[in-house]
């Protein structure tokens, strides 16, 4: 196969477009977190950090598409790793921060009183652990990279080789399982509290953000977890080089979607984020006018119904 045909041009430009949209959306989340004091709770700050690393992932994905547009295929595994190192670090931070956010939500609904008294140093320690984990997992890849091994298309799965690939896939698979279990536990605990009418105000506050995180975790399962699970299967079962290359290409869609959709989820599900986004882009007045018009129309309909 000719190098220029390794990735179809429509796929390159479509994934590039989605990545650019994702970059803008994630930077928007970062900006409103810094700018809006109401979005500076510990969980919101974690979400802002996750958005920051998602933005770096989007930059990395844009970078890879530019390499494809420039026909930079068939490069050494060492060069691919060095070009990808910052993006791989961001992917690992994205994965580990997702677990920390899940633990934050679980602790909040399990021990609501203790949660308010929890020291910020605990969060600092967790973030530091995420950084150490991501650094170790990322740069383990350099030890196994080679100047003689050729990578046909530089992508996240192909940036790791040999044992470093196994370490990366295995560690992220374990984290993915833990994320699903932690979020599942948080939802179960929240339903128990609501059923028992315990700490209703706390439960309601947590539940609002949990609704947004529900969609986020659903996307996580359908994208990142599916990506890692597919890579685990490709490690266990030996496919032909052509099939393996195709799997790596198609998994790129899932990685891009996972890094790009959070803005739309929070806009849809979280009113505080939606208001902050609209204010940031100067659209709050327009949407307020439309909302006021709809409310006025509703009142007119109700009054006319009463007269009838």
The model's pTM is: 0.85
pLDDT value at residue 29:
96
Tally of CB atoms within 10 A around 184: 13
pLDDT in tens, 38-83: 899 898 999 999 999 999 999 999 999 999 999 899 999 899 999 9
Domains of the chain: 9-271 (1.20.1070.10)
Instruction: For residue 214, give the nearest of 56, 101, 52 by alpha carbon.
Output: 101
How does pLDDT run across 17-35, given as a tens digit for each residue?
Answer: 999 999 999 999 999 999 9
| 122/110 Cα distance (integer angstroms) | 17
Dist. CA 97–CA 80, nearest whole Å: 25
Q: Is the pLDDT of residue 37 over 70?
A: yes
Model pLDDT for residues 87-137, shown as the tens digit of each residue = 999 999 999 999 999 899 888 888 878 888 889 999 999 999 999 999 999
Rounded CA separation 217/210 (Å): 10
d(C-alpha 124, C-alpha 127), whole Å: 5
210-213: list long-range contacts, CB under 8 Å, 24+ apart: 210/105, 210/109, 210/186, 211/269, 211/270, 212/265, 212/266, 212/269, 212/270, 212/273, 213/101, 213/102, 213/105, 213/183
């Amino acid at each position: 196969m000719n190098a220029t045909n390794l990735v179809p041009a429509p796929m390159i430009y479509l994934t590039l477009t989605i990545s650019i949209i994702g970059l803008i959306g994630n930077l928007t989340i970062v900006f409103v977190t810094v700018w809006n004091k109401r979005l500076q709770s510990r969980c919101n700050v974690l979400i802002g950090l996750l958005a920051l690393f998602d933005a770096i992932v989007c930059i990395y994905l844009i970078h890879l598409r530019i390499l494809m547009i420039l026909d930079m295929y068939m490069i050494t595994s060492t060069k691919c790793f060095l070009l990808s190192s910052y993006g791989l670090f961001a992917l690992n931070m994205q994965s580990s921060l997702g677990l920390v956010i899940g633990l934050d939500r679980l602790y909040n609904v399990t021990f609501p009183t203790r949660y308010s008294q929890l020291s910020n140093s605990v969060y600092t320690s967790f973030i530091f652990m995420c950084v150490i984990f991501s650094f170790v997992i990322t740069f383990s890849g350099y030890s196994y990279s080679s100047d003689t091994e050729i990578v046909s298309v530089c992508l996240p799965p192909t940036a790791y080789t040999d044992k470093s690939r196994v370490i990366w896939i295995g560690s992220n698979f374990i984290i993915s399982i833990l994320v699903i279990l932690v979020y599942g536990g948080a939802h179960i605990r929240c339903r128990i509290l609501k059923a028992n009418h315990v700490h209703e105000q706390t439960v309601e506050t947590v539940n609002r953000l949990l609704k947004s995180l529900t969609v986020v975790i659903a996307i996580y399962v359908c994208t990142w977890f599916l990506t890692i699970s597919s890579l685990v299967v490709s490690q266990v079962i030996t496919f032909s080089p052509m099939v393996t290359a195709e799997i790596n290409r198609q998994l790129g869609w899932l990685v891009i979607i996972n890094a790009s959709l959070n803005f739309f989820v929070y806009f849809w599900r979280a009113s505080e984020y939606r208001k902050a986004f609209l204010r940031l882009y100067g659209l709050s007045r327009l949407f307020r006018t439309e909302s006021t018009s709809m409310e006025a129309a509703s009142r007119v309909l109700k009054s006319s119904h009463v007269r009838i």
